[in-house]
Amino acid sequence: MSVLIALQGPVDFEKPRVLVDLFHEITARNPDCLVRFYYRSKKSISAIIRNVRSSSGKFGLSVGIESQAAADTRLEKSLKLFQDEACDIVFCCCRNNGKSFRIVSNFSGTHRISFYSYTPATHLTAGSRTTVSNLISRSNL
């Protein structure tokens, strides 16, 4: 079963930037990976990274990343795409409740979902860099 890790927190609070930083960290650790972008800007990303190596040495993993949390944006479409493309690990953002939370939760039949809380307190005490490291550790990448 695929793993879906959702960075969860309040509206407009740095979650997309954390996932963009996560994308850069994964691609830096895997220089031979193949990246397919579906959307890309400085503050947002939707992509599949292929040929990723896990921390245990397993090679060939596919990782999907969608940084938009608003339910009326790309979230649902990207999660379906990542499922269709058989991504082993998916990272996304969602809010604490509401439509984006329900969209993510709807994938519980096909993914093992893990919510990672990212709040103003987390940002102040841990920061983006530590959160990226924690997400990588949680996903065994």
User: CATH code at 68?
Assistant: 3.40.50
Q: Are 6 and 93 in contact (CB under 8 A)?
A: yes
Q: How many domains does the structure of the chain reveal? A: 1
In terms of residue numbers, what domain contains 131? 2-139
Q: Are 38 and 47 in contact (CB under 8 A)?
A: yes
Q: Are 122 and 116 in contact (CB under 8 A)?
A: no
pTM of this structure: 0.91
* Confidence at residue 50, expressed as pLDDT on a 0 to 100 scale: 97
- The pLDDT profile of the chain, 141 residues, written as one tens digit per residue, is 799 999 998 776 688 888 999 999 999 999 999 999 999 988 899 999 999 998 888 899 999 999 987 767 799 999 999 999 999 999 999 988 889 999 999 999 999 999 988 876 666 566 667 778 888 888 888
Q: Which long-range contacts (CB under 8 A, 24 or more apart) does 58-64 make?
A: 61/88, 61/89, 61/141, 62/86, 62/87, 62/88, 62/89, 63/26, 63/87, 63/88, 63/89, 63/90, 63/91, 63/139, 63/141, 64/89, 64/90, 64/91
What letters, b where the CB count within 10 A reaches 16 and e where it falls short, cover 2-34?
A: bbbbbbbbeeebbbbebbbbbbebbbeebeebe
- Reduced to 3 states (helix: H, G, I; strand: E, B; else coil), residue 54 is coil
